[in-house]
A = this chain, B = another copy of it.
Amino acid sequence: MNQPADSAGVERAVAKGLAGQRVRIGLVGCGVVGTGILRLLRDNAETIEARLGAPIEVVGIAVRDPSKLRDPLVPAELVGTDPMALATQDDVDVVVEVMGGLDPAGAVVKEALEKGKHVVTANKALIAEEGETLLEMAESTGVDLYFEAAVAGGIPIIRVLREALASDRVVALSGIVNGTSNYILSRMTSAGLDFADALAEAQAKGYAEADPTLDINGGDARHKLAILATLAFGARVDVHAIPMEGIDTVSALDIAFASRFGYVIKPLAIGRPTDDGELDLRVHPALIPESSVLASIHGALNAVHIEGAMLGPSLMSGPGAGALPTAMSVVSDIVDVGRNLITGAHARVPSRAFRGSTLQALPLASPKSHRGRFYLRFDVHDRTGVLGKIANVLGGFDVSIEQMVQEGGQSEGNPHATLVMLTHVASAGDVHGALEEIDRLQYTTGPSRALRIEEG
């Protein structure tokens, strides 16, 4: 038991009659994550071989434009431009797809699965949109399809749902699964920046892309939530049907008011089966108590909170993106698939286990039916009676006020005032009905604002 590490793999392979076996991968895509994978395979080769029981060998790399590959880590002799050919090449055991996007990644992955290749992918859009089809294909050819890096980069949430919680039932999940929007709201909170400046800073630091739309409007988080909900609740989810709100309507003012009430504003993805047999899935910024663990997840970090029926509350946090954390998740998936390969245990985890026990098309709860507490902000002319009018409309919609503060107005000779209210539990439909009426009656000088409050 005391041999140096580099002999461990060999010894194990010999013991299993697999001397000389290697896990041979074809790398489809070689951008920052792909290059990170090559770096990790080089730097940690000895450790990985000892822990897997065989070395991992890159037998081919397919990219769109080889002239863009300048990193000396990429062996030029392995680079080609035909991902489809690489994905079906005889000497490839595992196809590692890190090109991203639906096209042509989807066709490449399907071709690989059909040809009996195992697949590891970091592609959240592909898994969110076509995961069910792909898992069925993997099951029918008896291969593994792993996708840890598709959700929350370095956080092993897929593995935990698939294995650590295999004996439990998830009753709720909530998470910060988009690092860009967490970075922006964190900087607005810690440095008092407004949205535009925080976004510009995130772009300058590489936390936001030139076109940050999908990060900011919730589209990216929605993909990840769809994948998590499928695993956690066994639900078939139409990603495009998940209600979402972006963070771009959160103002520095909202963050400051939230803080006065003991809350911070975080970009959340939430999933929870309702008592009516529906699935409540939502992506939106929300107020959470300053003392909650998610409130302490700062900057570009991600975190996922899981409530298990048996387990109770649990949380995992870590980097949600970045070349090396993502590459680490991809390579750990390759190690996992490689362990199955070496022991002949392909499809060791039933594909059904990736998707919860019973894949059902649970109806999504209507966003209007959601009940909870709300933060409301009204910009008003400081006229006598406006508070009363607003309160009347809210009351008419069954929305009752728990706390209120008013800023500006009379005391400073300023005709404009800001009213901020925290409500008791109310239905989202009623809150939005009330706000529409208040804005329509022009009690306010600009559109009123509502944010959900999620209790720790």
- Please list the residues of chain A having a beta carbon within 8 angstroms of any beta carbon in chain B: 1-2, 4-5, 8, 12, 36, 40, 44, 46-48, 50-53, 132, 136, 139, 148, 154-156, 159-160, 163-169, 291-293, 295-297, 301, 308-319, 322, 324-325, 327-329, 331-332, 334-336, 339-340, 342-350, 352-353, 356-359
Contacts and interface: CB of A to CB of B under 8 A. Distances in A.
Given A50-B357, A315-B316, A168 B348 contact: no
A316 B319 contact: no
> Copies per complex?
2
B159 A163 contact: yes
A348 B16 CA distance: 11
Contact of A344 (B44, B148, B313, B343): B343
A343 B346 CA distance: 8
Nearest to A293: B296
Contacts of A329: 164
A317 B331 contact: no
Contact of A167 (B4, B12, B48, B308): B48
6 contacts: A5-B358, A51-B352, A160-B160, A164-B329, A168-B332, A310-B325
Contact of A348 (B154, B296, B340): B340
A165 B154 CA distance: 9
A312 to B, nearest CB: 5
B314 A155 contact: yes
A161 to B, nearest CB: 10
Contact of A48 (B4, B166, B317): B166
Contacts of A12: 350
Interface centre among A164, A169, A324, A329 (most CB of B within 10 A): A164
B315 A350 contact: no
A146 to B, nearest CB: 11
Given A47-B167, A311-B325, A315-B317, 12 more contacts: A50-B357, A52-B350, A52-B353, A159-B160, A165-B328, A166-B331, A167-B331, A167-B335, A293-B296, A339-B349, A342-B348, A343-B345
Contacts of A293: 293, 296-297, 317
A318 B46 CA distance: 33
Contacts of A359: 1-2
